[in-house]
Amino acid sequence: MKEAYPTQVAEFAVSQGIQELPGFQWWVPHVLKRQSRMINAVKTRFKKKMHKYGIQVPLTVEEAYQLDKDTNTDYWHRAILKEMKNNAVAFKFLEEGEHVPVGSTWIPFHMIFDVKCDLTRKAQFVAGGHWTQVPPQVTYSSVVTRESIRIAFLIAALNELDILVADIGNAYLQAPAREQVHTTAGPEFGPSRIGQTVIIVRALYGLKLSGAAWHAQLSETLYGMGFKPSLADADVWYKAACKGNGFEYYEYILVYVDDILAISHRPRTVMETIKKQYRLK
């Protein structure tokens, strides 16, 4: 575990108060110092990289609005509006007389800005999940292996099956938040909302348990469609099916977080079923 996940093991040792034990005493400080150096190096490079494709990339919402004002455009403003509209289902504003739920943790949020290849501005609203306690349960979303994909392609070729791929838009927002967290609305929420308390009710990007929450949500959907996870790879789902000529085979769905690969005689039918619950791209 120390070799495979050194940072996670060191953080776990600190959270459990066992960093002074013989097995960790000499090792934990070294790992955490190395992590700190790497983070500082990334921050330094990030601060220096202010332009992409010749376009200045803001670091904060305030800077984004100032760039729009300086250039007499609204590119960054529209990117922020689009992102906040997509994330609207994740927010619950406290009404007058309501209180923050007991046990809820205040965490910060920030906006990450980028420029796409077509020069479209992009904004990503990210939660400061590092402010919450390290949960005891699994926090990640597993993904299908490359070997499983290769085998699935071989099965498709041998059985003359078709393949269809789709991406689930805003996947994490489909799952309820597993953490009890809240934040204070900033300028990205609009002038009338600044300073209000916001309860997070969906699994936003950045929260520790968002990946696991989405994986559980999608698994429930696939179970409802009659699929079962294979024993060799839990992200390869299968279900018995039959072609029109009576040929029996297995339909497969391979999952890589929010990317879905369907292998079937009629994969579009499978995707249409998934599309009833999620937005596919």
**Does residue 44 carry a pLDDT above 70?**
no
Number of domains in the chain: 3
Report the DSSP beta bridge partners of residue 218: none
In this structure, are 112 and 6 located in the same domain? no
Asked if residues 20 and 29 have their Cβ atoms less than 8 Å apart, the reply is: no
Which has the closest alpha carbon to 111: 183, 10, 164, 180?
183
Q: What is the pLDDT of residues 229-274, one digit of tens each?
A: 999 999 999 999 999 899 999 999 999 999 999 999 999 999 999 9
In this structure, are 74 and 195 located in the same domain? yes
**Token code pair at residue 239:** 């279900």
Q: What are phi and psi of 224, to 5 degrees?
A: -65, -25
Q: What are phi and psi of 88, to 5 degrees?
A: -55, -35
Asked if residues 121 and 79 have their Cβ atoms less than 8 Å apart, the reply is: yes
**Which among 32, 49, 66 is the end of a domain?**
49
Q: What's the 3-state SS for 101-146?
A: CCCCEECCEEEEEEECCCCCEEEEEEECHHHCCCCCCCCCCCECCH
In this structure, are 167 and 251 located in the same domain? yes
Query: Which residues neighbour 28 within 8 Å (Cβ) at sequence distance 6 or greater?
Result: 10, 13, 14, 19
**Does residue 141 carry a pLDDT above 90?**
no
In this structure, are 220 and 259 located in the same domain? yes
> What pLDDT is attached to residue 138?
57
**Does residue 137 carry a pLDDT above 80?**
no
In this structure, are 7 and 98 located in the same domain? no
Pairwise CA distance, residues 173 & 160, whole Å: 36
Pairwise CA distance, residues 18 & 12, whole Å: 9
User: What is the C-alpha end-to-end distance of the chain, expressed in Å?
Assistant: 38
**Does residue 54 carry a pLDDT above 70?**
yes
> What pLDDT is attached to residue 184?
94
In this structure, are 150 and 68 located in the same domain? no
Q: What are phi and psi of 71, to 5 degrees?
A: -100, 0
When pLDDT is averaged across residues 132-138 and rounded to a whole number, the result is 68
> What pLDDT is attached to residue 111?
93
Residue 281 forms part of a structural domain: no
**Does residue 145 carry a pLDDT above 80?**
yes
In this structure, are 73 and 191 located in the same domain? yes
> What pLDDT is attached to residue 30?
87
pTM of structure: 0.73
In this structure, are 126 and 217 located in the same domain? no
> What pLDDT is attached to residue 136?
64
Pairing verdict, β 181-184 and 105-106: parallel
Pairwise CA distance, residues 202 & 83, whole Å: 15
> What pLDDT is attached to residue 139?
59
**Does residue 41 carry a pLDDT above 90?**
no
Q: What domain range is 22 assigned to?
A: 1-49
Pairwise CA distance, residues 175 & 228, whole Å: 20
Q: For residue 47, name the pLDDT band (cuts at 50, 70, 90).
A: low
Which residue did the predictor score with more confidence, 2 or 77?
77
* Average predicted confidence (pLDDT) for the chain: 90
Which residue did the predictor score with more confidence, 223 or 133?
223
In this structure, are 73 and 198 located in the same domain? yes
Pairwise CA distance, residues 270 & 281, whole Å: 14
In this structure, are 71 and 85 located in the same domain? yes
> What pLDDT is attached to residue 43?
64
Pairwise CA distance, residues 77 & 74, whole Å: 5
Residue 280 forms part of a structural domain: no
> DSSP assignment, residue 32?
H
In this structure, are 248 and 157 located in the same domain? yes
Q: What is the pLDDT of residues 174-225, one digit of tens each?
A: 999 988 999 999 999 999 999 999 999 999 988 888 888 999 999 999 999 9
Q: What percent of the chain has pLDDT over 90?
A: 62
Pairwise CA distance, residues 262 & 150, whole Å: 13
When pLDDT is averaged across residues 89-112 and rounded to a whole number, the result is 91
